[in-house]
Structure 1
Amino acid sequence: MLDVAVIDQAAAAEISLDPVRARLLAALAEPGSASSIAAAVGLTRQKANYHLRALEEHGLVELVEERKKGNVTERVFQATAASYVISPAAFAALAPDPDRSPDQLSARWLVALAARLVREVGELIAGATAARQPLATYAIDSEVRFASAADRSAFADELGESVKHLVARYHDENAPNGRRHRLVVALHPSLKTPSEQAKSPDNRHEES
């Protein structure tokens, strides 16, 4: 089972968003059959079987074992991933385009960038998996506590200059065997913890 899978088909996205089927997927983090998980999700075995067939049809669960019980064959399934992300590719007509209105200070543009990241990396994962090839990626996830808005602004300026110099140093437009790579750098306020929210009289989120 994968740690995370990207859903890029509209039909599979619709299936995964159904509350009952989402509960089944969660229950199938460990292998189970219709009869073994039906009660846990509040369904009859027949209903559980119906939903499992739909999930299997769209590649969200997979058969891991068949057990003979007298004249009955019990099919045991497991979710294909521990968690799922729906790619904007599943809603192609509505997918955000970060090139349409680029704005470094817009939180909504940041969301558009993140959506493109999910779509592109999801497609790359699918291609690499089909070709049985590794996919070279790199990411940094960190957190900075700024003393003031001025410090945050200075940090963003310095980070931008550093990235610009690195890109200029390593970018080779004429490399015969070169391959382009997407570089995205993001900075946004961390979500408040419950204790921080309790201390704050104003829990509104900033747009940018």
Structure 2
Amino acid sequence: MLDIEVIEDPAAAEASLDPIRTRILQELVEPATATQLAAKVGLPRQKVNYHLKALERHGLVELVEERRKGNVTERVVRATAASYLISPVALASVAPDPRRFSDRFSAFWLLALASRTVQEMGKLISGAALAKKKLASFAIDGEITFRSAAERAAFAEELGVAVTRLVDKYHDGGSATAAGGGRKHRLVVVLHPALKTPPQTDTSTEKPADKDQSND
């Protein structure tokens, strides 16, 4: 089972978006039979079997084993991944293309880059799995608070300079690449505001109702 599977087929994407099938995929992180699933999701076994066949047909569910119980053979299945992500490839005709424009300060270009990252990583993960090789990747995720817009702009400028310096130091566009000895890597650096977390209402300070109140 993969940690994350990127769905590229439009039909598979449509199948995964059905609320009942989404619930089934969630439950199938652990292997189960149709009878066991029916009890968990509160549906008749026949209906669960219908959805399982559709998910299996699109490669989202796989057979783990078959168990013989008297004259009946039970199929134990599980989801092919713990989580799923729909690739922009599934919407190829309307997917954002970062090559259409390039603007470091455009939120839409950032989205286009993120879309391309999902698309390319999906294909790379699938290829690495088929080749039974580990995929070389690296990511950094963190948060930084700026005191002002001016400091944010200064940080972005210095970050750009630092990245450019590193690229100039390590990029090999010469003989090794031409001879097939080098491997091109994609580098994407993003900076965007963090989502605001809604404040939680604290009910611990509320005074309890007076149980001894009486009517006048």
TM-score (norm 2): 0.87
Alignment partners' CA distance in 1, 2:22 and 2:201: 29
Per the TM alignment, residue 196 of structure 1 is displaced from its structure 2 partner at its CA by 7.9
Task: Report the 3-state secondary structure (helix = DSSP H, G, I; strand = E; otherwise coil) of the residue aligned with 1:32.
Answer: coil
Alignment map for 1:89-128 (pairs within 5 Å): 89-128=89-128
Alignment map for 1:36-185 (pairs within 5 Å): 36-174=36-174, 175=176, 176=179, 177-185=181-189
Per the TM alignment, residue 112 of structure 1 is displaced from its structure 2 partner at its CA by 0.7
Q: Which moved more, 1:124-133 or 1:181-190?
A: 124-133
Alignment partners' CA distance in 1, 2:159 and 2:2: 34
Q: Which residue of 2 aligns with 1:35?
A: 35
Q: Which amino acid aligns with 2:168?
A: A
Alignment partners' CA distance in 1, 2:42 and 2:98: 42
Structure 2 residue ranges without an equivalent (≥5): 203-216
Seq. identity, %: 63
Q: Tell me the alpha carbon deviations over residues 128-163 of structure 1, each in whole angstroms, 9 at most, x when there is no partner.
A: 222222211111111111111111111101000000
Alignment partners' CA distance in 2, 1:152 and 1:171: 28
RMSD: 1.7
Q: 1:192 aligns with which of 182, 185, 196?
A: 196
Alignment partners' CA distance in 2, 1:189 and 1:39: 43
Q: Which amino acid aligns with 1:129?
A: A
Q: Which residue of 2 aligns with 1:202?
A: none
Q: Tell me the alpha carbon deviations over residues 88-135 of structure 1, each in whole angstroms, 9 at most, x when there is no partner.
A: 112211221011021111111111100100101111111122222221
Q: Which amino acid aligns with 1:2?
A: L
Question: Stretches of 4+ moved more than 4 A in 1?
Answer: none
TM-score (norm 1): 0.90
Q: Which amino acid aligns with 1:39?
A: A
Alignment partners' CA distance in 1, 2:84 and 2:192: 23
Q: Could you say if the C-alpha distance between residues 163 and 129 of structure 1 is closer, same or farther in structure 2, counting changes exceeding 3 Å? A: same
Alignment partners' CA distance in 1, 2:157 and 2:104: 11
The alignment of Structure 1 onto Structure 2 pairs a total of residues equal to 198
Per the TM alignment, residue 185 of structure 1 is displaced from its structure 2 partner at its CA by 0.1
Task: Report the 3-state secondary structure (helix = DSSP H, G, I; strand = E; otherwise coil) of the residue aligned with 1:99.
Answer: helix
